[in-house]
Amino acid sequence: MNKTIQRRDPDLSLAAFANSLPKLLEKIYLARGVSEDSQLEQSLKALHSPKTMKGLEGATARLFEAIEAQQRVLIVGDFDADGATSCVVAVMALQAMGLQSVDFLVPNRFDYGYGLTPEIVKVATGYRPQLIITVDNGISSIDGVSAARAQGIDVIVTDHHLPGATLPEANAIVNPNQPGCEFPSKNLAGVGVIFYVMSALRTRLREAAWFESQAIAEPNMANYLDLVALGTVADVVPLDDNNRILVQQGLRRIRAGRARPGLLALLDVGGRERNSIVASDLGFAVGPRLNAAGRLDDISLGIQCLLCDSPDLAREMAMELDDLNRDRKAIEGGMQDEALASLNKLALNQEGGELPWGMCLYDPTWHQGVIGILASRIKDRYHRPVIAFANSGETEVKGSARSIPGLHIRDALDAVATRHPGLLSKFGGHAMAAGMSFDRARLDDFRQAFDDEVRRQLTADDLQACILSDGALAESDLSLGMAETLREAGPWGQHFPEPVFDGEFYLIQQRIVGVKHLKLVVATDAQGQQLLDGIAFNVDLEQWPNEGAEKVRLAYRLDVNEFRGRRSLQLMVEYLEAV
């Protein structure tokens, strides 16, 4: 679809940087709400203090008791990369602090669904835990926590998802988004929350002289920052000041080779050089391979890969995860073709060819572990909220939603549930992603209710995809040096996006590589004095290559291409159109 390009226009007078920065970089930072050096601080001492985190004192007191009495502790996680890294941080930190009996359990999404449900509590009792710690889930597990407490099992909930009107009756809840929590950063991923909990626990144990009395080394919490960075990036939480510190510190450790063997193995099978990785490598190379296990099989394989101390065994597991990711891609490709065919048919049957503003897609053959990715792909293509559904049980459907700016998808689902009591069995999520389930027989009712709600909250202009650009670049800035400067100026990510520029170029060469990627050579002038390589991924093959195009307008990022030891500038094309 055609997109508009809107240039950012920051107020340059707000710049208060004491250190000298390139003017281009100042402009980029200002456009992202950063105006002074303190916001760029990346040392661990600049992290927000945990003292304002509600529930932390109660959680660490109960954990101290568990360690001192050597109780059996069970970590109950989630089946994605954030859940996996959260599990690993909790298990490894507790073991390093002297707890001898700690295990983990992650519900299989196909059998038990999400979170600490009463059904998963029944499975958990087989581990005979005296304490359950939820990571990256639990804030909505009202019945599950009650079931555990009824069995005499204490529960600590650590989560970052938005709470409902009622909180579970846990022994302690640590969630920066719970009512009354004054912790400044509400954007921690699940792994960030458990990292803070474990760090506070280490402080409590240190103050009690626990490590000296047990003759064990006090753990260095920085050793877990590679996992914190991975989970934070993979969960696509906003990279506010605090999260940028966590991610940058983790990247530094990975680049230095001080990371878990499993993480390094996943980078390797993903074709990434560990000594030069950036945040997006975690999001595009490592995260999907971990998530593939949870989507198609069991995330436990990913957790075991990250827990593994043997580089050789870790690589074997990383290869298994890579195979699962290939399978996931194949399944997703087939589902996407079916979804696009269905939408084309729907458009033909609609007056004027208009599609719903809120899209609901369903096929009884679709894999419920892949519907989230499908929804994301269709959302990107049509720029409107999308929910993809798959069968879940004999009479239920499960949906995975992805939204666009302007529509808080969890709040939209809440509004649907309020207007149509009994329609939704359960739902939850964030501003841009959510999940739900309900009776399959009500699918058409939900379709209409969801479309109505989207139309209530959005305008037609909201459905026009827009690329935010940091403007045009001078020819002197189209350089490898500037690409390297921007690469190191991050970490970039959600709500702190990597700089995108736009401009018109002369099209010199174009060819398809890797099935549907367009390799370009463009020039800044008609004489071709400055040639630039570029690549656009997943182009519309009905439009490109375009032999009639002499000039193109591009929205692009500057990237460093490394090939056979040679580093060169490459334009990563986000959008192109013939002009």
pLDDT 10s digits, 71-118: 999 999 988 999 999 999 999 999 999 999 999 999 877 677 778 999
- One of 1.10.443.10, 2.40.50.460, 3.30.70.260, 3.40.605.10 is the CATH number of 467-578, namely 2.40.50.460
Give the 3-state secondary structure of residue 60. Answer: helix
pLDDT of residue 352 exceeding 60, the answer is no
Of the candidate ranges 153-157, 273-277, 293-297, 413-417, the one whose mean pLDDT is the lowest = 293-297
Q: How confident is the model at residue 122 (pLDDT cuts 50, 70, 90)?
A: very high
Q: What is the spatial distance between Cα 22 and Cα 6, in angstroms, rounded to a whole number?
A: 23
Residue matched to tokens 């957790």 = 303
Residue 325: predicted pLDDT: 92
Contact between 161 and 140 under an 8 Å Cβ cutoff? The reply is yes
Give the 3-state secondary structure of residue 447. Answer: helix
Contact between 387 and 375 under an 8 Å Cβ cutoff? The reply is yes
**Side chain identity at 370, as an amino acid letter?**
V
Please give the C-alpha separations between residue 122 and each of 40, 107, 116, 139, 563, in angstroms, as whole numbers.
Answer: 47, 11, 10, 19, 53
pLDDT of residue 239 exceeding 60, the answer is yes
Count Cα atoms within 13 angstroms, Cβ side, for 94: 32
| Sheet of 154-158, strand order | 102-105, 73-76, 131-135, 154-158, 172-174
Q: What is the mean pLDDT of residues 152-159?
A: 98
Residue 254: predicted pLDDT: 97
Residue 521: predicted pLDDT: 97
Give the 3-state secondary structure of residue 137. Answer: coil
Q: Is the Cα dihedral 147, 150, 154, 160 positive or negative? A: positive
Residue 432: predicted pLDDT: 87
Contact between 83 and 160 under an 8 Å Cβ cutoff? The reply is no
Residue 168: predicted pLDDT: 97
Contact between 539 and 518 under an 8 Å Cβ cutoff? The reply is yes
Provide the CATH topology of domain 48-222: inorganic pyrophosphatase (n-terminal core) (3.90.1640)
Give the 3-state secondary structure of residue 573. Answer: strand
Q: Residue 386: beta bridge partners?
A: 359, 402
CB atoms within 10 A of CB 132: 29
Q: What is the mean pLDDT of residues 468-491?
A: 95
Rounded to the nearest 10°, the torsion over CA 224, 225, 231, 232 is 150
Tokens of 447: 């379709």
Which residues of 4-55 form beta strands (DSSP E)? 4-7
CB atoms within 10 A of CB 452: 17
**Is cis: bond before 118, omega within 30 of 0?**
no
Query: Of all residues in the chain, what percent carry a pLDDT higher than 70?
Result: 98
Residue 413: predicted pLDDT: 96
Q: What is the spatial distance between Cα 472 and Cα 334, in angstroms, rounded to a whole number?
A: 38
Q: What is the mean pLDDT of residues 418-427?
A: 93
CATH 3.10.310.30 positions along the chain are 355-463
Q: What is the spatial distance between Cα 250 and Cα 287, in angstroms, rounded to a whole number?
A: 15
Contact between 125 and 96 under an 8 Å Cβ cutoff? The reply is no
CATH 3.90.1640.30 positions along the chain are 48-222
Provide the CATH topology of domain 355-463: Diaminopimelate Epimerase; Chain A, domain 1 (3.10.310)
Residue 347: predicted pLDDT: 67
CATH 2.40.50.460 positions along the chain are 467-578
Please give the C-alpha separations between residue 322 and each of 194, 264, 267, 308, 317, in angstroms, as whole numbers.
Answer: 27, 13, 11, 17, 9
Output phi, psi for 222, to 5 deg: -65, -20
Contact between 402 and 376 under an 8 Å Cβ cutoff? The reply is yes
**Cα–chain center distance at 390:** 22
Count Cα atoms within 13 angstroms, Cβ side, for 315: 4
In sequence order, the 6+-apart residues with CB closer than 8 A to the CB of 88 are 227, 260, 303, 306, 307
Q: What is the spatial distance between Cα 196 and Cα 183, in angstroms, rounded to a whole number?
A: 11
pLDDT of residue 350 exceeding 80, the answer is no
Q: What is the spatial distance between Cα 154 and Cα 72, in angstroms, rounded to a whole number?
A: 11
Q: What is the spatial distance between Cα 274 and Cα 282, in angstroms, rounded to a whole number?
A: 10
Q: What is the mean pLDDT of residues 316-334?
A: 93
Residue matched to tokens 């877990």 = 224
Q: What is the spatial distance between Cα 502 and Cα 425, in angstroms, rounded to a whole number?
A: 45
